[in-house]
Amino acid sequence: MFEIYVRETFDAAHFLPNHKGKCARMHGHTWRIELTMQAEKLNNGMVHDFLDIKAELKRVLPDHSLLNDIIENPTAENLAKYFYEQLKERIPSMTKVIVYESDNSGAAYFES
């Protein structure tokens, strides 16, 4: 099995409704998203062309947006699932999405 990764960043604000901590107030992050793709066989020596994956990813990234306008409760977990659902048809070899809101905190979504 082969596995590849593509990472990209985007800047966006959010707030967490019904949250009791400081994240209930609007604030921003430089988010990082990582896609994982897998294949048993290579196509022309590749799982998937990195440039094609990056182009599809940039189509769905809400750079300089308020994420609450897209998702009601934009936690890292909900964002990972949202991006997975947006990209799965476009990138069938994708198996997992990880969304990081900082260098040390993030959440993954994948289908078991």
Active-site residue identified among 14, 29, 56, 101: 101
Which of 3, 19, 27, 64 is flagged as catalytic? 64
Known active-site residue 23: yes
- Please give the single-letter amino acid code of residue 42: L
Spot the catalytic one: 3, 23, 27, 85.
23
Degrees (nearest 5) of the Cα angle 11, 74, 110? 95
- For the annotated catalytic residues, the residue numbers are 23, 64, 101
